[in-house]
Structure 1
Amino acid sequence: MNQWTLPDYVEDMLPDEAVYLESLRRSILDLYQTHGYLYVIPPMLEYIESLNSNGQDMDLDTFKVVDQLSGRLMGVRADITPQVARIDAHLIQNDEVTRLSYAGSVLRTKPASFLQSREPFQIGAELYGFNGIEADLEIQTLLIKTLNTIGIKNPVFDFNHLDIFTTLIASSGMGRDQIDLLYQAMQKKDKSEVVDLTKSMDKKNREALIALVSLYGDVNILKEAEKVLPKDKAIQNALQFLTQIDKALKANPIKISYDLSDIRGYQYHNGLVFSVYADNCYSPIALGGRYDNIGASFGRNRPATGFTMDLKNIVTLFPNGKKAKAILAPQLKDTALEKAIESLRQKGEIVAIDLFGNMNAIENNCDRILIQDANKAWKVKTV
């Protein structure tokens, strides 16, 4: 094997992509700052107990190492969300609303899909301390602005409320393994598998779970759900909540849909969950929702809602066609030239020095050169 070969689903980012990702990161974090979200930078490595507060799935995603100092098991973070929850619980300790943002690489034992990296670059925002719909709407509005900053037009927001699923299985007597199988069947919309897995359930809840597989579409699907699902208070409240979300967001330049069988993250999410899709993208470009119980493992259970997205995935799916062009300047000992170069750089221009004295401007991504005019003044000229 060649020494320069990288592991599967791990890759370098070359200059054009890296510059684009960094530009997006700066613009997005600046957006979050204007909305009161404080930037935090958690460590890449933590004790495994802290990283796996999201459950078994995160444990399987986590690379593990033994700490040579303490002998304890540590993990390389596979998700920044539990780290931010730990920061809210133990370092900030604010009883009021806390808004936090983050951006950084994570490492996973396997990719989320065959098109994605095992080293995503996560960016997101979290809101702690308020359990009203206003917090959910603030997070979704911020995500809409994030997508607009990136330049993604007409995204599809796909909503569900996990109280529907958890209410239906609460009295089922199913174990964790069986619920996991039911989750997989729901995600695949495999009605026959759902039928088979729910044989031992009471008729009313079983029929409701089977119905969930077909309950997806626009806001009208919520009316259909009211007809076919049990008249349980928690289920009816969940459907009313989704209707409120629809009314509050429909004026935005997004398409809203509902999928009552999408129970992604049911192990740690509660209440509203959502996935965001874009044209010609078959997997979500952003995920979010409520996870009010995420702080429990850190001894401080607070309402929490937020979203996350992978900027590496965004850069791959929506490549930037624009390249920042540079100015090529000669390598000379000339005070006036040095001042001209510094002045251009202070204005935000990219100025590269021609070290060889015969560099090709076009091949080096330079569309201009710095030359002396007849009066010995340094001027920028288009090539």
Structure 2
Amino acid sequence: MKGNWLLPESLADMLPAEARRIEDLRRILLDSFRTYGFELVAPPLVEYIESLLSGTGSDLNLRTSKLVDQLSGRTLGIRADMTPQVTRIDAHLLNRLGVTRLCYCGPVLHARPAGLLANRELLQIGAEIYGHAGFEADLEIIHLALDSVRLAGVQTLRLDLCHAGLVRSLIETDPKAVSRADEIMALLRDKDLPGLTQLGTGSDALLPATVGALVRLPQLYGDLTVLERARKELPRLPGVVAALDTLEHLLGALDDVSVGIDLADVGTYGYHSGVTFSVYAQGWHDAIVQGGRYDDVSRAFGRARPATGFSLDLRKLVDGLVPARPAPAIRAPAGQDAALRQAIYALRQTGNIVVQVFPGEVATHDEFMFDRQLVLLDGQWVVQQVL
């Protein structure tokens, strides 16, 4: 018989050091978002599936766990991404005319892990800007994403940029490509050149020009010269030219980070509509932040709004950081003396960690380092250093 302490595959407990580190970082980031003018929202963990998946494409559907609501009999979904929920709040509940900046933090559940090393439960934190279609909103979101990772102590970063509108333009010129859009996006994300080449064969083959352009995209990766190569090697479709112009404009404003171009880092078809980006750092095997523009998602809620944002998994981010050091703490003796209780209270009010041991207790605290103790000297409770 399996032990009752075993957890389902790809789920894990957070032990004290990790939980404290995550909570400390959550507070720091939410406070940082507020300094930019972002307002905090907290959508529910579970929603009707129709609302949860509106405008998001098939990828999110596959990641979403479903259950039956015992009250209504309708199908519910446990959120796998908070962004559609925040979009619903902007479109339906706030219903503002101008720019709205919203941020959030909460758990999400994936029906299957996203990769071999991934957890199914994430603590997602992110920020979204609604109501501004210009590149200024993309730039602010990118700066906030980079600042967030730096606040966690990660300084050497790489930012990869792409533009989903470029791929969409290529797909929409070919009816066969439109019907195979999700397949094309998956092949691009995997940089599967043989798979992309095979799109030109069979009864549902894509046009040769479309296949040729798609095969070029995974090879258009590297420094800023990629944009110049892309202008020469890709069809001069209006959507392609506009996407490359937007990326060039954005690159001119990013001078505080190492920037690369990856024209196959396409996100999800039917979800992202413009600039997309990923943030990488040494110590993590894949992107620690992902974001981009998704102007079409709010259309499903009856109110089309320009939108751009980013999110990251706090658990994943903390997992790659240097382990947290134990926090300095004060050990207080057992007892109910009024003066002792008042001394402990006063110390805690000033932000000190004070652990009052129980009679006969042998305290084991991985989280705390007792470098001081509360002792009675000449009738007064005073703090002494532990030698």
Tell me whether 1:368 sits opposite 2:369 in the alignment.
no
User: 1:78 aligns to what?
Assistant: 80
Query: In 2 relative to 1, CA 245–60 (structure 1 residues): closer, same or farther, beyond 3 Å?
Result: same
Separation in structure 1 between the aligned mates of residue 36 and residue 365 of structure 2, nearest angstrom: 41
The letter for the 2-side match of 1:25 is R
User: 2:118 aligns to what?
Assistant: 116
Q: CA deviation at 1:338?
A: 1.5
Separation in structure 2 between the aligned mates of residue 70 and residue 319 of structure 1, nearest angstrom: 47
Deviations 1:18-41 (A, max 9, x none): 011000000000011111100001
Deviations 1:71-99 (A, max 9, x none): 11111111110100110011100011000
Query: How many correspondences in the alignment?
Result: 381
User: 1:62 aligns to what?
Assistant: 64
User: 1:292 aligns to what?
Assistant: 295
Q: CA deviation at 1:344?
A: 1.2
Separation in structure 2 between the aligned mates of residue 343 and residue 231 of structure 1, nearest angstrom: 71
User: 1:128 aligns to what?
Assistant: 130
**Higher alpha-carbon deviation: 61-70 or 41-50:** 61-70
Tell me whether 1:378 sits opposite 2:382 in the alignment.
yes
Unmatched runs of 5 consecutive residues or more in structure 1? none
User: 1:202 aligns to what?
Assistant: 207
The letter for the 2-side match of 1:196 is Q
**Higher alpha-carbon deviation: 159-168 or 329-338:** 329-338
Separation in structure 1 between the aligned mates of residue 38 and residue 261 of structure 2, nearest angstrom: 28
Q: Is the 8 A contact 1:157 1:275 kept in 2?
A: yes
Secondary structure of the structure 2 residue equivalent to 1:295 = helix
User: 2:227 aligns to what?
Assistant: 222
State the TM-score, normalizing by the size of structure 1: 0.95
Separation in structure 1 between the aligned mates of residue 217 and residue 371 of structure 2, nearest angstrom: 57
User: 1:264 aligns to what?
Assistant: 267
Tell me whether 1:338 sits opposite 2:341 in the alignment.
yes
Separation in structure 2 between the aligned mates of residue 260 and residue 48 of structure 1, nearest angstrom: 32
Q: CA deviation at 1:359?
A: 2.9
Query: In 2 relative to 1, CA 358–317 (structure 1 residues): closer, same or farther, beyond 3 Å?
Result: same
Written as runs of structure 1 = structure 2, the 5 A alignment for 1:212-361 is 212-250=217-255, 252=256, 254-359=257-362
Query: In 2 relative to 1, CA 174–356 (structure 1 residues): closer, same or farther, beyond 3 Å?
Result: farther
The letter for the 2-side match of 1:293 is D
Separation in structure 1 between the aligned mates of residue 111 and residue 303 of structure 2, nearest angstrom: 29
Q: CA deviation at 1:65?
A: 1.2
Q: Percent sequence identity over matched residues? A: 41
Written as runs of structure 1 = structure 2, the 5 A alignment for 1:186-201 is 186-199=188-201, 200-201=205-206
Secondary structure of the structure 1 residue equivalent to 2:355 = strand
Q: Is the 8 A contact 1:330 1:357 kept in 2?
A: no
Secondary structure of the structure 1 residue equivalent to 2:185 = helix
Secondary structure of the structure 2 residue equivalent to 1:106 = strand
Query: In 2 relative to 1, CA 10–337 (structure 1 residues): closer, same or farther, beyond 3 Å?
Result: same
Q: Is the 8 A contact 2:171 2:177 kept in 1?
A: no
User: 2:49 aligns to what?
Assistant: 48
Secondary structure of the structure 2 residue equivalent to 1:230 = coil
Written as runs of structure 1 = structure 2, the 5 A alignment for 1:88-127 is 88-127=90-129
Q: CA deviation at 1:375?
A: 5.2
User: 1:29 aligns to what?
Assistant: 30
Q: Is the 8 A contact 1:328 1:368 kept in 2?
A: yes
Written as runs of structure 1 = structure 2, the 5 A alignment for 1:148-163 is 148-163=150-165
Q: CA deviation at 1:4?
A: 1.2
Q: Is the 8 A contact 2:65 2:111 kept in 1?
A: yes
The letter for the 2-side match of 1:41 is A
Secondary structure of the structure 1 residue equivalent to 2:121 = coil
Separation in structure 1 between the aligned mates of residue 44 and residue 380 of structure 2, nearest angstrom: 53
Deviations 1:135-189 (A, max 9, x none): 1111111111111111111211111011211111112222666333322222222
Secondary structure of the structure 2 residue equivalent to 1:213 = helix
State the TM-score, normalizing by the size of structure 2: 0.94
Secondary structure of the structure 1 residue equivalent to 2:180 = helix
Q: Is the 8 A contact 1:328 1:361 kept in 2?
A: no
Query: In 2 relative to 1, CA 8–362 (structure 1 residues): closer, same or farther, beyond 3 Å?
Result: closer
Separation in structure 1 between the aligned mates of residue 213 and residue 179 of structure 2, nearest angstrom: 21
Separation in structure 1 between the aligned mates of residue 58 and residue 183 of structure 2, nearest angstrom: 14
Query: In 2 relative to 1, CA 261–352 (structure 1 residues): closer, same or farther, beyond 3 Å?
Result: same
The letter for the 1-side match of 2:47 is E
**Higher alpha-carbon deviation: 228-237 or 125-134:** 228-237
Query: In 2 relative to 1, CA 358–7 (structure 1 residues): closer, same or farther, beyond 3 Å?
Result: closer
Separation in structure 2 between the aligned mates of residue 40 and residue 19 of structure 1, nearest angstrom: 22
